[in-house]
Chain A
Amino acid sequence: MSEFLHFSEHTLQEVAIAWLVTVYIIRVIWFLRFKPGGDRQPATGAADTTPRRGIFYSWGNIFMPWAMESTRRNLLMWITFGIFHVGVTASIALSLIIPYGPGLLESAFVVTLFQILIGTAFLIGVTRIIRRAGGKYMRALSSPDDYFSLILLTVWFFFAFLSVPNQTTNGETHLLTYFLLTAFFLMYVPFSKISHYLYYPFTRYYLGKTLGHRGVYPVQRG
């Protein structure tokens, strides 16, 4: 292993993670400085719907494709969304496994599993780029950041896929690219749309609290 690869796997990643955490803390403080917005109204709706239940329902909403018409009618979209995000998790986990627990990758099963997840996420990333650039609606919605973030992740998946076996027999370019991309990704995230997962718990919390209090969540259908 070259010194540069070692640096990229360790020091660079640690700095990038520290940067990410710091910026995220600042971001959460910024967010919490806005007023929470109260609700004085007495509860409406069915007696068994409460703010607490609404919050949990809201958080879990994404795992219930039947809960929203948008996911119910686009089940394939929901499945690819799920795999894509599992791929992100696997790729991040890989960036920690390679430097701190490489022994895990000696298992052929683990390698295959990671490659299937990340490889599928890569393919989904490609289809999403096509969808975003090719669809009239998606094109109208998209900003340069949307395209860049998606392309960044897809390319990152590609190199993560190649890096899963953690082999340098045929050179270390793929590993080096993967770790450099990971570091860039970690540092770029707080300023891009990818930071949505930081806001997700808050946005869903407040929506769930309101709609739970008002008896709308959990959504009833007839």
Chain B
Amino acid sequence: MSQKKERSQKAEKVIERMGQKLNRQIVGSLTACVHCGMCTESCHYVLANPGDPTYAPAYKADKIRKLFKRHYDWTGRVIPWWVKADSVWTEEDLEELKDTVFGKCTNCRRCTLNCPMGVDYATFNRMARGLLVSVGVQPEGVAVVSKDQWELGNQMGVLKEDYLDTLEWMEEELQDELEDPSVAIPVDKSDCTVMYAINPREVKYDPRSIADAAKIFHAAGESWTMPSEGWDQTNFGLFSGDDALGGSVARRLYEKVIELNASRLVISECGHGYRSTRCEGPNWAAFDIPFEMESSVLTMLRYIREGRIKVDKSRNTQLVTFHDSCNNARSCGLFEEPRELLNLVCENFQEMYPNRAENYCCTGGGGAMSMSEYTPNRLKSGVVKADQLKETGAEVVVTSCHNCVDGLSDVIRHYELGIEVTQLVNLVANALVIEEKIVVPVEEVVPVEEVVPVEEVVPVEEVVPVEEVVPVEEVPVEVAVEEVPVEVAGGEVPEVVSADAMSLAGRVIVVADDEPDQVEFLATVLEDHGATIYRAATGDEALELARREKPDLLTLDLHMPGRDVGEVFEMLREDPELEELKVCVITGRPELRKLIYDRSVRPPEGYLDKPVDEERLLLNVRKILELAD
């Protein structure tokens, strides 16, 4: 007697919910495939895994299609084996499906554009992800990030105070850089033309891009603001297939624009953020948008076209190439504007082939950067992108997507290409021509006797009036601001702000990394700025040095021989004598973040992706040590 097969509750729900997700576009895609195999070579996973048909888009699609055929199509219901229709029964079946839809596809949509039948595999792959997520079957990273976005409103779990603190920090950096205290990063300012929304990665790992954008808005004389809430333009709903999350995140952003009465939402450079906010969000949130939305790429280009900012392309002389983000190019048609902008701000632009809607994925799409269990496979598939990059001969690859920055950085590191990754906002900011201004700071004062002898104080009439901004060309060259002592009421004069104010003198820092070159670089930069450095090549050495020297800061590589670095970190955190110790993770393997962030101890104070440049290192170290306040 045959025994009836029992289906798990989760599997039952997946099948049932599939029916609710089906629409004509998806049904068409599920029924129209003829298994012609034309899509096969369009996938970077296939090209990187020759001879393994399980990566072929049609093969992967059939893992989902078989369910549709078995439960919703007629031939598959009657004679399933004839059309390879099948069902899911157990948790293992769902796990296997998970590995296909999350681990073997980045939803880049390249196969869709190469299918003669117009089968949109990426769209129904996303649907399958959503079905699995709805029953709790998902990569751990997807669950963590989704939770953060649901609960904290941004996908990296950035706290409101950290976000605002970063904006303030960048505002100060910018004021220092432009020597203009009037430069501001406005927050929650009503009735502005532009509300600027960013990727939380910018707060956590790349705050310089916020300052660069602010610099551009400032130079353009834009009326703009950033919101204190609802500032995350990214949307993990796109990756997880969870439309409810997608709708909620998008709505949060849209409602903030309306609340602040801004007339335009500008989305910082991020492929999936742009697609989610600009294209998919209104559908997920069932929201009719009463304001304009645009990528910051278009904003910057418009400023140049309208003459609101001036750029000097001779400031960007390196040979650059451009990587099209899949979401921008293949799903939103954003590919000509970045090129136009690049040509305006760079001297040497070399096209990458194939490009635009035919470009290959950076390997970090579809949320792949958060799924560490699939990292080896992802990096293997990166050989396609590595070959593409190598052929350009470029020194710098530019992309308008934060995911791509991470994805490309990983590929470049893994294949040792030695190419720098940057974004358009950085290049535009670098090329920006700003009329320099000199301003006399008034906030910080020191006693007269500590600054200049009374007899050297210049007469009042020769003194630059307090708060008066003087264009550079009107000031004699020899009157540099540091050389102008200023008398103010009460017999006090403003402090001369020098580079020494940011010195690391007296600070003790342990640099822990197993790469000698990296240790040497970090140590040299920090020593040059006055810090006392101790070097560690293993987790145990770092632990020992930290306990012995009681440093102010420990820079910690996540991958070192010996004791697990996560364990070392936890031991440091739990040591009552090291309560004051600040930790900055510096890693070339972002997938190892979970070693640290999954622990129930205080997270590190800073995080930097390798390769680290001097400027970024110093900015972050000063911030962590609160020297930048």
Where the two chains meet, the residues of A that have a C-beta atom closer than 8 Å to any C-beta of B are 31-32, 34-42, 44-46, 49, 58, 61-62, 68-71, 73-74, 77, 81, 135-146, 191-193, 195-196, 199-200, 202-204, 206-208, 210-211, 214-216, 219-222
Q: B314 on the interface (CB 8 Å rule)?
A: no
B238: min CB distance to chain A, Å: 13
Among B195-203, B332-340, B566-574, B592-600, which stretch is in contact with chain A? B332-340
Instruction: Tell me if A203 and B117 are in contact (CB < 8 A).
Output: yes
Instruction: Tell me if B28 and A41 are in contact (CB < 8 A).
Output: no
Given contacts A35-B23, A37-B25, A44-B279, 8 further A-B pairs with CB under 8 A are: A31-B24, A69-B113, A73-B41, A81-B116, A137-B56, A202-B24, A203-B25, A219-B356
A210: min CB distance to chain B, Å: 7
Instruction: Tell me if B22 and A34 are in contact (CB < 8 A).
Output: yes
By a CB distance below 8 angstroms, the chain B residues around A140 are: 53-54, 56, 59
By a CB distance below 8 angstroms, the chain A residues around B281 are: 41
Instruction: Tell me if A214 and B24 are in contact (CB < 8 A).
Output: no
A140 to B58, CA, bound (A): 10
Residue of A46, A195, A214 with most partner-chain B CB within 10 A: A214
A65: min CB distance to chain B, Å: 10
Of the residues A69, A137, A191, A222, contact of B351 by C-beta under 8 Å: A222
Instruction: Tell me if A143 and B83 are in contact (CB < 8 A).
Output: yes
A144 to B332, CA, bound (A): 38
Of the residues B23, B58, B333, contact of A46 by C-beta under 8 Å: B333
B375: min CB distance to chain A, Å: 25
Of the residues A71, A74, A207, A215, contact of B25 by C-beta under 8 Å: A207
By a CB distance below 8 angstroms, the chain A residues around B23 are: 34-37
Instruction: Tell me if A141 and B117 are in contact (CB < 8 A).
Output: no
A17: min CB distance to chain B, Å: 20
Among B30-38, B255-263, B423-431, which stretch is in contact with chain A? B30-38
Instruction: Tell me if B283 and A39 are in contact (CB < 8 A).
Output: yes
Of the residues A40, A62, A136, A214, contact of B332 by C-beta under 8 Å: A214
By a CB distance below 8 angstroms, the chain A residues around B37 are: 135, 137-138, 141
Of the residues A46, A69, A143, A207, contact of B118 by C-beta under 8 Å: A207
A140 to B330, CA, bound (A): 28
Among B287-295, B413-421, B450-458, B523-531, which stretch is in contact with chain A? B287-295
A160 to B40, CA, bound (A): 33
Question: Interface majority SS on B: helix, strand, loop or mixed?
Answer: helix
A211 to B22, CA, bound (A): 19
Q: Which 10 A-B pairs have the closest CB atoms?
A: A215-B333, A45-B333, A203-B28, A140-B53, A37-B23, A40-B282, A70-B114, A206-B25, A143-B84, A199-B32
A68 to B111, CA, bound (A): 10
Instruction: Tell me if B59 and A68 are in contact (CB < 8 A).
Output: no
Interface members, chain B 33-91 (any A CB < 8 Å): 33-42, 51, 53-54, 56, 58-59, 62, 74-75, 81-84
By a CB distance below 8 angstroms, the chain B residues around A141 are: 35, 37, 53, 56, 58-59, 62
By a CB distance below 8 angstroms, the chain B residues around A220 are: 335-336, 356-357
Instruction: Tell me if B279 and A214 are in contact (CB < 8 A).
Output: yes
| A to B CB contacts below 8 Å, 23 in the list | A31-B24, A31-B31, A41-B283, A58-B118, A62-B116, A68-B116, A70-B41, A137-B56, A138-B37, A141-B53, A141-B59, A143-B35, A144-B84, A145-B84, A191-B74, A193-B83, A196-B33, A196-B117, A203-B117, A206-B28, A207-B118, A215-B332, A219-B358
By a CB distance below 8 angstroms, the chain A residues around B335 are: 220
A137 to B47, CA, bound (A): 12
Q: B582 on the interface (CB 8 Å rule)?
A: no
A196 to B28, CA, bound (A): 9
B43: min CB distance to chain A, Å: 11
Residue of B whose beta carbon sits closest to that of A191: B75
Residue of A whose beta carbon sits closest to that of B56: A137
B618: min CB distance to chain A, Å: 39
A49: min CB distance to chain B, Å: 7
Residue of A41, A73, A139, A208 with most partner-chain B CB within 10 A: A41
Q: B406 on the interface (CB 8 Å rule)?
A: no
A74 to B62, CA, bound (A): 23
Instruction: Tell me if B32 and A200 are in contact (CB < 8 A).
Output: yes
Instruction: Tell me if A221 and B32 are in contact (CB < 8 A).
Output: no
A210 to B58, CA, bound (A): 21
Q: B120 on the interface (CB 8 Å rule)?
A: yes
A73 to B354, CA, bound (A): 13
